[in-house]
Amino acid sequence: MYHLPAKYATHADSITATIVRTIVDIFHVHFLLQFFRMWNLDEAIAAEAENAEVVALKGLLPPVGGAVGG
């Protein structure tokens, strides 16, 4: 993070540094949340595709215990 040397750290500088650190922290949290949201979306899309594939494969199989063509 952003730190001023002690000999330059006046009260105004420390306030400015605190504001800068706070803004940087907010952006870090925001982008981390965006990353996790996209990651979860990718997992949801993959799970949905897998479910659709399973349903399609089940449609190709004959009924359990029965003959094809009823």
Report the first-to-last Cα separation within the chain, whole angstroms.
71
More confident residue, 54 or 24: 24
- Whole-Å CA distances, 67 to 40, 61, 62, 70: 42, 11, 7, 6
Between CA 59 and CA 70, with CA 65 as vertex, the angle to 5 degrees is: 65
**Predicted local confidence at residue 64, as pLDDT:** 63
**Predicted local confidence at residue 45, as pLDDT:** 79
Distance CA 54, CA 48 (A): 10
Q: Where does 1-70 have alpha helices with state H?
A: 11-60
24 pLDDT above the threshold of 80 = yes
23 pLDDT above the threshold of 60 = yes
In this prediction, residues 7-36 reach a mean pLDDT of 80
Q: Which residues contact 20 (CB under 8 A, 6 or more apart)?
A: 2
